[in-house]
A and B are shown apart, each in its own frame.
Chain A
Amino acid sequence: MKRILKLHVNGEDFEILTEIHKTLLEVLREDLGLTGTKRGCDLGTCGACTVLIDGKPHLSCLTLTADVQGKKITTIEGLAQDGQLHPLQKAFAEKGAIQCGFCTPGMILTAKALLDEDPHPSEEKVKKAISGNLCRCTGYVKIVDAILSVTDKSSES
């Protein structure tokens, strides 16, 4: 059954005629063409589909689109502002925190939610925050370093 769903994604309002049963992951990827959000397991176990809903990380593969109408949704495509990369994006690219890059969007969004809530987390807290985002390439070392490097910068400023 198709319905019109009203979504607020990356600062823009959308009205989408789509199947009511679709997950947010499906709508983002298929209806809005925002393919930066990845489907790794479709079961809420890998974290690759993480997006921010009202600033908090959520697994879009387990989220019914109809339930998040009117909420503020941020995907990886919405993170850079006015062509400027978010400090986390920059840090990931420059500190070797990316290999294949499939987990990267979800990982960065999870990290952003953490830093928005606590700009100076401990290493342990960073690890805990991203423990739901699986990465098979990096061993997490440089990911944790990249996230901590952003907190360093903010503490210096």
Chain B
Amino acid sequence: MKGEKRKVILKEKKVEIPLAKEELEVVGKQVIRKDGYEKVTGRLKFGADFDKAGFLHGKVLRSPHAHALIKKVDVEKAKALPGVVAILTAEDVPGRNGFGAIIPDQPVICGEKVRFIGDGVALVAAESEEAAIEALKLIDVEYEPLSAVFSPVEAMKPGAPKVHENGNLLTTVRIRKGDTEKGFQEAEVIVEQTYSLPFVEHAYMEPDVAMAIPHEDGTITVKGPMQAPFTVRRNIAPVLHIPISKVQCVQTHLGGGFGGKEDSSIDIGVRAALLAWKTKRPVRMEYEREEVTLSTAKRHPMIIQCKVGAKRDGTLTALEGTIYNEQGAYASLGPIIPPAGGTHAHAVIMLPGPYVIPHVKVDGYLVYTNHPYGGAMRGFGAPQVNFVHESIIDELAEALQMNPYDLRMKNCFELGSVTATGQVLDQSIALKETMRSAADQFEWFKRWRPPPSKEEVEKVEKRRGVGMAIGWYRTSIGTFSDGCGANVYVHEDGSVILHTGITEMGQGSHTVLAQIAAEELGVRIEDVRIVVPDTDIVPEAGPTVGSRSTTLMGNAIIMASQAVKASILEAASEILGVPAERLVARNRLIFDRDDQTRGVEFKEAARRALATGKRMMGQGWWAPPRPSFDVETGQGYPYFVYTYNTQMAEVEVDTKTGHVEVIKVVACFDIGRAINPILVEGQIEGGIMMGLGYAMMEEVLLKEGKVQNLNFQDYMIPTAMDAPEIVPMILEDPNRYGPFGAKGIGEMPNIPTAPAIINAVANAVGVRIRDLPAHSEKVFHAMRGRRG
């Protein structure tokens, strides 16, 4: 049927429409992103591009101490400086002096003590940026330094300096499945190792900015690159001590987010709002790049002990793990949002990997320290634990003298598998197919050889090796509050407005969501306009995180579209004299399913619908099946569906210098359905490069609590010169809950890349890096140690 066309007569007009009903018009197509032309011309305005005229300039005075009591803050000299309009300290906060995505434990302005270098001690608003900067220097703060703690292991010890009143252990999450003692008795080979992962910076290209505008009616508008405008709003209201309904948050296009702007937009948004509220004037704040790196959330560092046992034939018998997850100074997105939300629970749930293991025991500790804080970053705890399970599986394969592919294939999830949390995977699971497809493409069996001996490595200057890793990643966030709404408005000319609170940060959600609306309504993508997410206008959508946008919001949009489409079909039914149930809407046409020569244009039906008083808007609300999870036993159904992925990497290691070049990455994904394949590829390629950075070069360096590499001359991220050949592959095993079968894609690509590369390094030169990043020096020393 594909490609066939039939002529349809529309009131003397002849139009061609595609015949095959099962063929979708907009979904699954390489639709060019809706904001593309605005972006290539420089016309699209990012937050910092809006006119500054009329705004005061806001700045934050930051703590130079990692842990100290604030004895006195003298603002008199600063206040006297010409151009300074306000200096705010803790006592000026009208409401709750705290913010946070989950727990409001981070002071808007610290009053009693500071907990990390970068904590906010005072806020300044001035007529010019220069005056604001000058004023910061004139604020006199007297500190009494306290002993600080910089490691989660140290912070858990009795007598460790207390970062917060209630102690340093923020959350404990466990998994108890079977009996690991028995499992290890059954094992014939056991591998036990410790791995560590560093703080990593999101390095979104656009620094944070916020504009806060107070209004005479007691409301306030805050604009900026917000990844989750509803979370920002939820934080501003209690700080200003006003109802949520009086706070309007308007998103500007994000110049990248990657999880970071879920947190940072709260930080800067709350502070700008407070300054505007107190001065009764519009206030603009923009963080310098160094300030972004110093003070905003990062990927959690973790120290993870892991032990895995298997039979001689490779059958896994048990896994034990202990995660020391460093939260840093504030809770951010670390702790539990019931039942399974938050980075920490996700990390614990993901540690056993996509493997069937009868006996599992995991203890995960989330611990405060006096470092900057960990938050959401692409993968949300999964990149860390994936590095661990994919490294240790390779180490086990080596001990078993097995091909690591075979060991994975023997144990990994398939339809009907039961996870470590007791969840039965009963649909949309093509992990093994991703392995097979990737292996074919990569020619895994032709290229993989056992790791070389020391002598072999020393013989040549450059050695190549291959490595693989597999992974799984949830769609949704595992909270009870994971619902989202959409409104769809159809106008009499057939054009459509879509209200969604899911934000566009480059991933292409506003193209994909418009595609879904267009498909469901039977119009073209260009007919659908998405308004900028504005909390005064769009329904609650939850945050744009957790690879949830396409699936959850897509479903809400389908529901909303169907609701309004009913009116349009009813009007078309009246025009055509055909029952509405028989009508099909496609590509701006509505026609009789049983007699496709009878049809009417979508816009004509829309015009009639309006003229006859029919409902011209549709609302949709969708939440995933209710999650369950017990933090003590780790049992439950935390997330309703998962994306699966296999990545294979080839590297070349310079045996004289330790320099690693990644030559090629093949990555195959089961994502249910690709709504827009070119955007999916973009997510894959970008995620893999970010994963390459995690493997090879990225690390926020800290010395006595202070970030050492604040800008891109020291904090390295991959450049085009680091880019390997990337082969993205998409498999579609439909998700029964998904819009057109879709599952999430945003985060998955960023997850197995690092272990695939590190496994390839081990395969090339026989040394294993267990603490990221594997920069040249580390690989060099590891090789020298081996030669030792």
- On A, residues with C-beta under 8 Å from B are 29-30, 34-43, 45-46, 48, 75-77, 79-80, 85, 89-90, 92-94, 96, 98-105, 108, 126-128, 130-144
- In angstroms, Cα B507 to Cα A76, docked, is 22
26 contacts between A and B (CB under 8 A): A37-B42, A38-B205, A38-B206, A38-B255, A43-B712, A45-B711, A46-B289, A75-B42, A92-B39, A92-B40, A98-B40, A100-B256, A101-B38, A101-B39, A101-B44, A101-B253, A127-B723, A131-B719, A131-B721, A133-B720, A134-B719, A138-B686, A139-B685, A139-B686, A140-B718, A144-B723
Q: With A35-B49, A136-B256, A136-B690 known to touch, is A40 a contact of B40 (CB < 8 Å)?
A: no
By beta carbon, the residue of chain B nearest A146 is: B40
- In angstroms, Cα B690 to Cα A93, docked, is 22
Task: Tell me which residues across on chain B come within 8 A of A105, comparing CB atoms.
Answer: 42
Nearest Cβ distance between residue A1 and chain B, in whole angstroms?
A: 13
Inter-chain contact A41/B39, CB cutoff 8 Å:
no
Nearest Cβ distance between residue A61 and chain B, in whole angstroms?
A: 11
* B741 lies within 8 A of chain A by Cβ: no
Inter-chain contact B204/A136, CB cutoff 8 Å:
yes
By beta carbon, the residue of chain A nearest B258 is: A136
* B207 lies within 8 A of chain A by Cβ: yes
Inter-chain contact B689/A102, CB cutoff 8 Å:
no
Task: Tell me which residues across on chain A come within 8 A of B80, comparing CB atoms.
Answer: none
Q: With A48-B205, A101-B255 known to touch, is A142 a contact of B685 (CB < 8 Å)?
A: yes
Task: Tell me which residues across on chain B come within 8 A of A141, comparing CB atoms.
Answer: 681, 685, 723, 726
Inter-chain contact A96/B723, CB cutoff 8 Å:
no
10 closest A-B pairs (Cβ-Cβ)? A36-B42, A100-B506, A102-B255, A101-B39, A139-B689, A93-B36, A99-B506, A139-B685, A76-B42, A35-B49
Instruction: Specify which of A29, A98, A136 is in contact with B205 (CB 8 Å cutoff).
Output: A136
- The size of the chain B interface, using a CB distance under 8 A, is 55
Determine which residue in B41, B254, B505 has the highest number of CB atoms from chain A within 10 A of its CB, and name it.
Answer: B41
Inter-chain contact B720/A130, CB cutoff 8 Å:
yes
Inter-chain contact B43/A36, CB cutoff 8 Å:
yes
List B residues 111-127 near A (Cβ within 8 Å). none
Nearest Cβ distance between residue A2 and chain B, in whole angstroms?
A: 14
Inter-chain contact B41/A77, CB cutoff 8 Å:
yes
- On B, residues with C-beta under 8 Å from A are 32-33, 35-46, 48-49, 52, 202-207, 253-258, 288-289, 505-508, 678-679, 681-682, 685-690, 711-713, 717-721, 723, 726
Nearest Cβ distance between residue A94 and chain B, in whole angstroms?
A: 6
Interface class of chain B by DSSP:
loop
Q: With A76-B42, A89-B41, A99-B507 known to touch, is A140 a contact of B723 (CB < 8 Å)?
A: yes
Nearest Cβ distance between residue B188 and chain A, in whole angstroms?
A: 41
Inter-chain contact A128/B721, CB cutoff 8 Å:
yes
Inter-chain contact B205/A85, CB cutoff 8 Å:
no
Task: Tell me which residues across on chain B come within 8 A of A93, comparing CB atoms.
Answer: 32-33, 36-37, 39-40
Nearest Cβ distance between residue B40 and chain A, in whole angstroms?
A: 4
- In angstroms, Cα B80 to Cα A31, docked, is 29
Nearest Cβ distance between residue B292 and chain A, in whole angstroms?
A: 10
Inter-chain contact B289/A43, CB cutoff 8 Å:
yes
Task: Tell me which residues across on chain A come within 8 A of B507, comparing CB atoms.
Answer: 99, 137
By beta carbon, the residue of chain B nearest A92 is: B40
Inter-chain contact A98/B33, CB cutoff 8 Å:
yes
Task: Tell me which residues across on chain B come within 8 A of A92, comparing CB atoms.
Answer: 36, 39-40
Inter-chain pairs besides A42-B289, A85-B40, A136-B717, 8 sampled, C-beta below 8 Å: A40-B207, A41-B289, A43-B289, A93-B37, A98-B39, A102-B205, A134-B719, A138-B689
Determine which residue in B43, B505, B682 has the highest number of CB atoms from chain A within 10 A of its CB, and name it.
Answer: B682
Task: Tell me which residues across on chain A come within 8 A of B35, comparing CB atoms.
Answer: 98, 101
Instruction: Specify which of A40, A135, A136, A142 is in contact with B289 (CB 8 Å cutoff).
Output: A40
Task: Tell me which residues across on chain B come within 8 A of A36, comparing CB atoms.
Answer: 41-43
User: How many residue pairs bridge A and B at CB < 8 Å?
Assistant: 175
Task: Tell me which residues across on chain A come within 8 A of B257, comparing CB atoms.
Answer: 100
By beta carbon, the residue of chain B nearest A129 is: B720
Inter-chain contact B36/A138, CB cutoff 8 Å:
no
Task: Tell me which residues across on chain B come within 8 A of A40, comparing CB atoms.
Answer: 205-207, 289
Task: Tell me which residues across on chain B come within 8 A of A79, comparing CB atoms.
Answer: 41
Instruction: Specify which of B52, B207, B720 is in contact with A140 (CB 8 Å cutoff).
Output: B720
By beta carbon, the residue of chain A nearest B36 is: A93
Task: Tell me which residues across on chain A come within 8 A of B689, comparing CB atoms.
Answer: 138-140
Task: Tell me which residues across on chain A come within 8 A of B717, comparing CB atoms.
Answer: 134, 136
Inter-chain contact B713/A139, CB cutoff 8 Å:
no
Task: Tell me which residues across on chain B come within 8 A of A77, comparing CB atoms.
Answer: 41-43
Q: With A80-B41, A144-B720 known to touch, is A100 a contact of B36 (CB < 8 Å)?
A: no
Nearest Cβ distance between residue B588 and chain A, in whole angstroms?
A: 23
- In angstroms, Cα B53 to Cα A30, docked, is 10
- In angstroms, Cα B40 to Cα A102, docked, is 10
By beta carbon, the residue of chain A nearest B255 is: A102
Instruction: Specify which of B36, B46, B726 is in contact with A38 (CB 8 Å cutoff).
Output: B46
Task: Tell me which residues across on chain A come within 8 A of B42, comparing CB atoms.
Answer: 34-37, 75-77, 105
- In angstroms, Cα B30 to Cα A94, docked, is 9
- In angstroms, Cα B719 to Cα A126, docked, is 12
Inter-chain contact A104/B256, CB cutoff 8 Å:
no
By beta carbon, the residue of chain B nearest A141 is: B685
Nearest Cβ distance between residue A145 and chain B, in whole angstroms?
A: 10
- In angstroms, Cα B422 to Cα A103, docked, is 44
Nearest Cβ distance between residue B728 and chain A, in whole angstroms?
A: 8
Inter-chain contact A39/B681, CB cutoff 8 Å:
no
Inter-chain contact A76/B720, CB cutoff 8 Å:
no
By beta carbon, the residue of chain B nearest A46 is: B712
Task: Tell me which residues across on chain A come within 8 A of B254, comparing CB atoms.
Answer: 100
- In angstroms, Cα B42 to Cα A75, docked, is 9
Inter-chain contact B713/A43, CB cutoff 8 Å:
yes
Nearest Cβ distance between residue A9 and chain B, in whole angstroms?
A: 13
Instruction: Specify which of B46, B48, B686 is in contact with A99 (CB 8 Å cutoff).
Output: B686
Task: Tell me which residues across on chain A come within 8 A of B505, comparing CB atoms.
Answer: 100
Inter-chain contact B33/A142, CB cutoff 8 Å:
no
By beta carbon, the residue of chain B nearest A48 is: B205
By beta carbon, the residue of chain B nearest A143 is: B720
Task: Tell me which residues across on chain A come within 8 A of B506, comparing CB atoms.
Answer: 98-102, 137
Inter-chain contact B713/A131, CB cutoff 8 Å:
no
- In angstroms, Cα B42 to Cα A100, docked, is 12
Inter-chain contact A99/B205, CB cutoff 8 Å:
no
Task: Tell me which residues across on chain A come within 8 A of B712, comparing CB atoms.
Answer: 41, 43, 45-46, 134
By beta carbon, the residue of chain B nearest A128 is: B721
Inter-chain contact B205/A100, CB cutoff 8 Å:
yes
- In angstroms, Cα B37 to Cα A142, docked, is 16
Nearest Cβ distance between residue B698 and chain A, in whole angstroms?
A: 11
Inter-chain contact B205/A134, CB cutoff 8 Å:
yes
Nearest Cβ distance between residue A17 and chain B, in whole angstroms?
A: 16
Task: Tell me which residues across on chain B come within 8 A of A96, comparing CB atoms.
Answer: 33, 678-679, 681-682
Task: Tell me which residues across on chain A come within 8 A of B44, comparing CB atoms.
Answer: 101
Task: Tell me which residues across on chain A come within 8 A of B41, comparing CB atoms.
Answer: 36, 76-77, 79-80, 85, 89
Inter-chain contact A137/B289, CB cutoff 8 Å:
no
Inter-chain contact B32/A94, CB cutoff 8 Å:
yes
Nearest Cβ distance between residue B299 and chain A, in whole angstroms?
A: 13
Q: With A92-B36, A102-B206, A105-B42 known to touch, is A127 a contact of B681 (CB < 8 Å)?
A: no
Inter-chain contact B726/A139, CB cutoff 8 Å:
yes
Task: Tell me which residues across on chain B come within 8 A of A90, comparing CB atoms.
Answer: 40
Task: Tell me which residues across on chain B come within 8 A of A143, comparing CB atoms.
Answer: 720
Nearest Cβ distance between residue A112 and chain B, in whole angstroms?
A: 12
Task: Tell me which residues across on chain B come within 8 A of A103, comparing CB atoms.
Answer: 205
Nearest Cβ distance between residue A52 and chain B, in whole angstroms?
A: 13
Q: With A43-B712, A89-B41, A103-B205 known to touch, is A127 a contact of B686 (CB < 8 Å)?
A: no
Nearest Cβ distance between residue B232 and chain A, in whole angstroms?
A: 19
Inter-chain contact A139/B39, CB cutoff 8 Å:
no
Task: Tell me which residues across on chain B come within 8 A of A45, comparing CB atoms.
Answer: 711-713
Nearest Cβ distance between residue A114 and chain B, in whole angstroms?
A: 12
Task: Tell me which residues across on chain A come within 8 A of B40, comparing CB atoms.
Answer: 76, 85, 89-90, 92-93, 98, 101, 104, 108
- In angstroms, Cα B507 to Cα A50, docked, is 23
- In angstroms, Cα B718 to Cα A95, docked, is 21
- In angstroms, Cα B45 to Cα A34, docked, is 11
